[in-house]
Amino acid sequence: MPKKASVIAFTTVLLLVITSSGFQNKTDGEWPAYGGDPGGQRFSALTSINAKNVQSLQVAWTFRTGDAYQPRFGRPTAFEATPLYVGGVLYIGTPLGRIIALDPVAGRQLWSYDSNVPKDKGYGDFANRGVSTWMPASGQRRIYIATIDARLIAVDAANGKPCTDFGDNGIVNLRTGLRIAPRGFSDYEETSPPAIAGNTIIVGSGIADNGSVNQPSGEVRGYDVVTGKLKWTWDPIPQDPKSFGADTWKKGSARGTGAANAWSVIAADPQRNLVFIPTGSASPDFYGGERLGNNLFANSIVALRADTGERVWHFQTVHHDLWDYDVASPPILFDVNRDGKTIPAVGVGSKTGNFFILNRENGEPIFGVEERRVPQTDVPGEVSSRTQPFPLAPRPLAPQKMTAEEAWGGTENDRKWCREEVSKLRAEGIFTPPSVRGSLLIPGNIGGMAWGGAAFDRAHHLLIVPTNNFATQVRLIPRAEYDHERESGRNLNGDWEFAPQTGTPYGMARRMLRGPDGSPCTPPPWGVLNAVDADTAEVKWTVPLGQFPAIGKGPAAPPALGSISLGGPIVTAGGLVFMAGSLDPAIRAFDVVTGKELWKGDLPTSARSTPMTFLGPNGKQYVVVSAGGHGIPGGPPLGDYLVAFTLP
């Protein structure tokens, strides 16, 4: 390369490293947090792998954790972790609560710590999305894991031995001190890595949906990162009748309602001493007659002081949720350049397919939000919100309506069945309330934006956002009929999920809407990757993502139809978006400017995870992704693979 071009390339990379939102990727190519940095931008300044040579990527090594497990009952393990790379070592967490340190060049295990998670407790989401790390100004680096059985554990990064000065010999029991304690063991879990800001480590929780009104409470808690002592607790359901938001819980329902928990990844802005909490629905998801009102601070993004837990601001994405429309997508911090000003921003994706861009300091919408009238409930005892918030920009990133005439199907048999089934349902677009008759929810409960989240390209100020397009069918079942319905299974074409919603007049049944031969009723594409201009909120491109495999009787769908995905993207200064997460066993690279697919790498099974990249001690750039399968009957097999790619 000519000297002038080398200087320009170096200057470009340097500017990318030092100029966005106060977050700096280390020049040695580390990946020190789940999202690359505390604010979750998932950006790397590395350029060794770029649009010109990405087609030459090949597998460097594959490591198997040995932790793929199918319990006697309940769901199998979900290996969803994104590794960290710090100090020349890769660190990964597993669903069974192990922390594994790896040589980054050879993929060889250096040490492992086993938390001895009980395997057969029937976890609702038997997942782990990774570990966290912290290093004092003087002292030894620590690795933290929040295990599926709700323990927060600290170990020495050098050898995996417990940090005896943290909690009880390295362990804090997160099941203690809750307003509503879990009754069943699997009702309360931890699936996401903790956030760390200053000397505080912050954890949310995963709470089983739809069991009852009084599911475990969803407190977010901050602990001293050295000692493990509790510093603060924030309950997303206000308990003091005089506190802000308490009036959004009618008839004293705040006291006995659980959940509204933060199960996704928490983002942090250490410079502003803020953490950004994404919350889900209060319990249960599909009937709110026992929790009338808007239900603050459920289904919200809430900014808290990292050191005290004090609420600074909030923004609610869904009022009085009846659809399981959690804020599942991790918040992402970036800057917006608008009207000659640089505005610190936070992006908030929702299962609704709406993406809100807010001022990070006060929660005010940067591109505007309006309340729009939405369909109203016809269920006795329920009172749905008359309006819901919609961003003026960007436009919805997933379809929000579907008619019977639009219903799809891979075969003539499926198409006929889908259209007839949709015609029976209440289907008035997004926010159609659940009903006894049966309602069509679009987006369904796995998207628009699922927990995979977004990435930010600092060079072009683009937000890269994956979205799902898959409708769900939901029925409320009167209590007197519920047991009979559940026993019979309503096995029209299988796939029904039942939940009692104890404490309400209705049980619940739901399923992803697919025809008898297995093809989706929702018109394709079923998964897409979007690029949104962060400075204008304009959608710059949208491309299909992944390939829907053969499930049931139907054949695999063409690639142009896309696939639902559970996992997120990363962006590099090499002009690339790396994304896995789809149902087919592959990781892909896209051109960040055009969305064109440039490379596809085969995996041993599908990857329900977000990749990462780092610069190894040998000077080579690697892209790493965990592949554990999606746990779908008839789909890609269960796995425990960590796969690294590099250039030859």
Amino acid at 336: V
The predicted pLDDT at position 317 comes to 98
Side-chain half-sphere of 41: how many Cα atoms within 13 Å? 28
Whether 247 is a known active-site residue: answer: no
What is the rounded average pLDDT for all residues in the chain?
93
Position 4 pLDDT exceeds 50: no
Please identify which residue in the block is written with the tokens 């908030």: 348
The whole-angstrom separation of Cα 533 and Cα 336 is 9
pLDDT at position 17: 36
Residue 338 burial by Cβ neighbours in a 10 Å radius (0-12, 13-18, 19+):
middle
User: What are the strands of the beta sheet with 355-359, ordered from one edge?
Assistant: 332-338, 341-349, 355-359
**pLDDT 10s digits, 261-278:** 999 999 999 999 999 999
Instruction: Please give the C-alpha separations between residue 610 and each of 240, 268, 429, 625, 646, in angstroms, as whole numbers.
Output: 39, 19, 31, 7, 17
621/645 Cα distance (integer angstroms): 9
Confidence of residue 554 (pLDDT cuts 50, 70, 90): low
Instruction: Find where tokens 């770029």 sit.
Output: 50
Q: What domains sit in the chain, N to C, each tagged with a CATH number?
A: 3-646 (2.140.10.10)
Half-sphere exposure of 178 (CA within 13 A, CB side): 28
**Exposed/middle/buried for 242, CB within 10 Å: 0-12, 13-18, 19+?**
exposed
Q: How far apart are CA 144 and CA 131, in angstroms?
A: 6
Query: Can you read off the two tokens belonging to residue 12?
Result: 């470009």
pLDDT at 91 over 60: yes
Q: Is the pLDDT of residue 519 over 80?
A: yes
Reported as type and span, the H/E element at residue 413 is helix 412-424
Contact 503, 468 (CB under 8 A): no
Q: How many alpha carbons fall within 13 Å on the CB side of residue 288?
A: 29
Encode pLDDT of 26-81 as tens digits.
Answer: 446 999 999 999 999 999 999 999 999 999 999 999 999 999 999 988 899 999 99
Neighbours of 206 (CB within 10 A): 27
Q: Residue 62: beta bridge partners?
A: 643
Band of residue 228 on the pLDDT scale cut at 50, 70, 90: very high
- For 134-164, the pLDDT digits (tens) are 999 888 999 999 999 999 999 999 999 999 9
pLDDT of 508 higher than 70: yes
Place of tokens 């050098």: 158
Please tell me the predicted confidence (pLDDT) of residue 8: 32
632 Cβ contact partners less than 8 Å away, ≥ 6 residues apart? 551, 583
Cis bond before residue 525 (omega within 30° of 0)? yes
pLDDT confidence band for 395 (50 / 70 / 90): very high
- Between CA 170 and CA 484 the distance in angstroms is 48
User: Within 13 A of 268's CA, how many CA atoms are on the CB side?
Assistant: 25
The answer to whether the peptide bond before residue 448 is cis (omega within 30 degrees of 0) is yes
Residue showing tokens 């106060």: 22
pTM of the model as a whole: 0.95
User: Which of these is catalytic: 37, 125, 324, 457?
Assistant: 324
Torsional class of 445: left (φ above 0), alpha (ψ -120 to 50), beta (otherwise): alpha
Give residue-wise pLDDT tens across range 404-421: 999 999 899 999 999 999
What pLDDT, on the 0 to 100 scale, is given for residue 490? 57
